[in-house]
Chains A and B, each alone.
Chain A
Amino acid sequence: MIHDLLYKYLNNEASEEEVLQVFDWIEKSDKNKADFIQLKKLWVLSVPNSNAKNLYDWNLIKAQIPLPKKKFYSKTLKYVATIAIVFASLGYLTNVYFKADKKESIELKDYVVLEKSSGKIEYISEKSNKNIKDSLGNIIGKQTNKELVYYKNSAIKTVTYNTIKVPFSKTFKVVLSDGTTVHLNSGTTFTYPEQFNVANTRKVILKGEAYFEVFKDKNNPFIVEANDVNIEVLGTTFNVSNYEDDNFINCVLTEGSVRLSEKENQENSIILKPNDKVTWQKNARNFTLEQVKPYNYAAWINGELVFNKESFNNIAKKIERYYDVKIVNKYPFLGSQEFTGTIKIKEKDVETILDLFKLDTPFKYTKNNSIIEIYNP
């Protein structure tokens, strides 16, 4: 019955065979097609609002918008006049910046982006050195080439968040105001407080991959939020990988001790010792533990790609991020082949790397701009 099929299809429950039947029906007459279009339009507009509070998603948004003005008003009276003026001009600045953002977004996509809590966006040039200021014009840090260092300023009590976005094919390093060093890998978004509020835990949000050297501070635990998983540490060195297009989140500990827990079920947790690698499977929602050589997972901060019995498909994902290319593998046999080795990324172009793999398992490929297609030999 076609109506059951349409229902299944719109519910994303139909098998490929059934979808074929749906399209046969749609193509049978213009009337069918028009009806289907009308049906799908209603369908997509009638998604009822979920009762679940998307707190995490809201926090992501909140971290990227300016703080409400109220918090600033609580300061002493003598600042009020100055603050009012700053806010007046801030609105203007924000507008100007967004216009610039829209117009130049294509050319600027290769830059590291710093989003300030004020909504202001700065593009970071690797060749420049400059001071970073907060919304009141105070110098809060300094950028030197591929590194951004925040100064500690215990006079600032409010927590405002900044976000750094590292594009594919670039890496970046940030030293937070508490002295913690974070190496950011390609295609990573990292949200962190401009200043850590003394009274609170040190909390940051990671999407992508980063290597953390956390400054020891027993009284203020450091928490990395990686989607469904929280990583809580006291002072230690570890690597976290949390890419949207991977079906796992993993954490490898170099020294110290960290605790991972499921965000929505804190009791589902695991404590890591050095050389431990824990993997969170996004679908199964559980942790698995194995022993590894931590250097292999941190080698990227030195521009090296190390893999140990890893499938070509997994390695291809990493190559995509490092070289900002898209790899379409039409040779399944190659995809499942496992490789072990080290590649110095900065010294080689992507063609040289593919040629290396060809020595082991022959294949053909074409490269068209940033799209690489791989075929049977």
Chain B
Amino acid sequence: MKNIENEELKKFVLFKKGNEAAFEYFFYKFYSTIVGFCVQFIYDENEAKCTAQEAFLNLWKQREKIETVNGISSFLYTYSKSKCLNIIRHKRVKQKYTNHILSEKEKLLNLEILQSLEFDSLTFTELETLIFSSIDELPEKTKEIFRKKRFENKKNKEIADEMNISIKTVEAHFSSAINVLKKKLSAYLPAILLYFILN
């Protein structure tokens, strides 16, 4: 574990000096996470990708101002947050519902959530680290199934077909993932989220 951290610190120093391979390392580490973050607010994968790419380009341009390894994800999230706010405010999110009032409500709620997200605070870093390390520590196959189910909206059947395993196996992996996360995160989560993870 210590070794990995040292490696990352070395990469961070190289990244600050303008080393492209180090930048590539951080790109692969955070890209899909940032795309996933944006999708949840602007509901368009292409737009989310553009936003994430912009965030990384700006990270590169302003790398001299980044002070710590954690500063990288703070920068990426902060940039994406303000970009998502802009996109929502300028009505560039495509209309999802026929009910305009509902669209408006969703928009206001998303604005409120985005505005309340703070990325430079210690809490964020701690919680983020906890969530990421918890997911990262899942066995490879379990992690893959968890990701497919939660973030690619795939049904158990689709995952089973894709990975050439039975539906029962998929269910077993998913519930074991949920149990691990529940244990690790219980101190941080509100009751409702626990309930939701359990189901």
Contacts and interface: CB of A to CB of B under 8 A. Distances in A.
Interface of A: 1, 3-4, 6-7, 10-13, 16, 19-20, 23, 26, 35-54, 57-58, 60-62, 64-69, 94, 98, 119, 244
B40 A44 contact: yes
Contacts of B40: 10, 40, 43-44
Given A39-B196, A42-B189, A68 B19 contact: yes
A66 B32 CA distance: 23
10 contacts: A6-B196, A16-B96, A16-B97, A41-B116, A44-B40, A44-B113, A47-B32, A47-B151, A53-B28, A60-B53
Nearest to B46: A244
A10 B109 CA distance: 13
Interface string B105-119: 110010011001100
A244 B46 CA distance: 7
Given A53-B28, A244-B46, A47 B106 contact: no
B109 A48 contact: no
Given A6-B196, A19-B97, A58 B24 contact: yes
Q: How large is the interface on B (under 10, 10 to 19, 20 to 34, 35 or more residues)?
A: 35 or more
Contacts of B46: 244
Nearest to A371: B91
B20 A39 contact: no
Contacts of B60: 61, 65
B32 A23 contact: no
A301 B13 CA distance: 48
B128 interface: yes
B113 A68 contact: no
A68 B116 CA distance: 38
Contacts of B97: 16, 19
B196 A3 contact: yes
Closest 3 CB pairs of A and B: A47-B36, A50-B32, A68-B20
Main secondary structure of the interface of A (DSSP, over half): helix
Nearest to A16: B97
Given A26-B109, A52-B32, A62-B20, A44 B37 contact: yes
Interface string B25-59: 00111111100110011010010011011001100
B135 interface: yes
B168 interface: no
B41 A44 contact: yes
A50 B148 CA distance: 9
B30 A37 contact: no
Contacts of A13: 153
Given A52-B32, A58-B28, A64 B57 contact: yes
Given A11-B153, A37-B116, A48-B146, 7 more contacts: A37-B112, A38-B190, A40-B113, A48-B150, A49-B132, A61-B60, A68-B21
Contacts of A54: 28, 31-32
A186 B28 CA distance: 32
B143 A48 contact: yes
Contacts of B128: 45
Interface string B80-114: 00000000000000001111001001100100110
Contacts of B109: 26, 36-37
